[in-house]
Amino acid sequence: MNEKDAIVVTGIGVFSSIGCSRKSFWQSLVSGVRNISSFNPDGHKSRIASDVQSFNPTDYIRLFFQKLTKSLNLFR
C-alpha cells in the first residue's frame, strides 16, 4: 500500500438512505430494507447517489452546538 491508497477513518457513523444512525442503518440492513429511488445525475460529477429522506439537520446542529458549548466551557 502506498500513500495514495491510504484510508482514514474519522469516526463511526452512517448517512444512508436506509438509516442515519448506526442503529437504524443496521436494523434496515438486516431486515432487507431497500430504499433506492431514481436520480438524475445531470449537472453533478457523481453518478452514484442516494436520497436520504429520514435526515433532519436540526438533530445534528443541536448535537454540534452541545459539543461546542461543552468544549468552550473548558476555557472559563
Does residue 52 contact residue 15 with C-beta atoms inside 8 Å? yes
Q: In the numeric block, which cell numbers belong to residue 8?
A: 482514514
Q: Is 19 helix (H, G, I), strand (E, B) or coil?
A: strand
Q: In the chain, pLDDT over 70 holds for what percent of residues?
A: 79
Report the C-alpha gap between 9 and 17 in whole angstroms. Answer: 21
pLDDT at residue 30, as a whole number: 93
The tally of domains found in the chain comes to 1
Tens of pLDDT, residue by residue over 53-74, are: 777 888 778 877 877 777 766 6
- Write out the residue range of the structural domain in which residue 52 sits: 3-75
Q: Is the pLDDT of residue 49 over 60?
A: yes
pTM of the model: 0.52
How would you class 18 by CB atoms within 10 Å of its CB: exposed for 0-12, middle for 13-18, buried for 19 or more? buried
